[in-house]
Amino acid sequence: MRATCATIHLDALRSNLAQLRGHAPGARVMAVVKADGYGHGLERVARALAAADAFGVASIADGLRLRAAGTHQRIVVLSGPDEPGDLAELRRLRLDAVIHHEAQLDLLAADTDPRPLRVWLKLDSGMHRLGFPAARAREVHARLRALPGVDPDIVLMTHFANSDVFDDAMTARQIECFRAATAGLGGATSLANSAAILGWPAAHGDWLRAGGALYGMSVVEGRNGVDFGLHPAMTLTTRLVAINRVHKGESIGYAASWQAPQDMDIGVAAIGYGDGYPRSARAGTPVLLGGRRAQLVGRVSMDLITIDLRDHADARVGDPVVLWGQGLAVEEVAAHAGTIAYELTCGVTRRVLFAEDDRAA
């Protein structure tokens, strides 16, 4: 078997949920578990986050998986229905639907099922992706409340474009836009994603939508989840499978992109982009070898990476290598690869073994 393993720290998930609740004690928390729980495993994450008030998913199919696993909380399909048959399935599975487009209003207006469907009305306050224009908030809200197949207790929501910048004028404008558009409508509100939970108290509202922060990740530039009191929920590991001596001037890996500056040992570890480790990771990207830092050299290949062992004279074949997680922030690795932490955890592939760790974070 390949030595690659993603260990999911269940208590870290629970600890992160509690930490986020502490930022807005009066609010309820939707745990966003789309993309298979940000790569951590949908059902596994939902079990660990049983204290969440609701779960957010990207599709009805994910809602089905959660119900089959015994999840009883509210489950919100964040993109809502796409076709008439979706409405019956939403009701059968007791799923909430986000309504963000005129076509969805038409589906609901043509629906003859009188069973009330719980909906969240999404308004565009400046993200310009999904949502009704904020100026239409009252009109659309009234249309939804007039439909017999819609639960009149409608949650009002929006999404931020740049909330990971804590002094950003755009987010302040979005908050004001949303507040003005929904004034007097009543009902619960939901504005804050992970970054806004951490850095925008004015956006907390009645429902927090916690995503990456639940998994111990930050999208705030230059800061890691641990800076906010969060714990990494995934540690990705492998082992050294070879140690080779190379001479000064010899190149390492595909395209001969890195040359040895001196006679030295190179470690080869069993992980690559076939496992979800980013091919874009540059020479100098950190790993932990035997608990101490080392650096990538050469290109990441499908199955293997190569590691500079000049500061690891005691390295041996079989030694553990941590790619990210406990002791090495995934955000730091992502920065070296020109991406964000979310993409790395979501990209771990099926050939990686998953294990669970339930020790205290």
- Active site (catalytic) residues: 34, 254
**By C-alpha distance, which of 86, 40, 85, 29 is closest to 63?**
86
Report in angstroms the alpha-carbon separations of 179 from 149, 156, 159, 176.
Answer: 27, 10, 13, 5
- Residue 347: CB atoms within 10 Å: 15
Distance CA 4, CA 39 (A): 15
Q: Which residue has the tokens 């309504």?
A: 99
- Residue 310: CB atoms within 10 Å: 15
Q: Which residue has the tokens 């790619």?
A: 323
**By C-alpha distance, which of 253, 199, 227, 196 is closest to 332?**
227
Distance CA 95, CA 57 (A): 10
Judging by beta carbons within 10 Å of its beta carbon (0-12, 13-18, 19+), is residue 260 exposed, middle or buried?
buried
Q: Which residue has the tokens 């650096």?
A: 295
Distance CA 278, CA 271 (A): 10
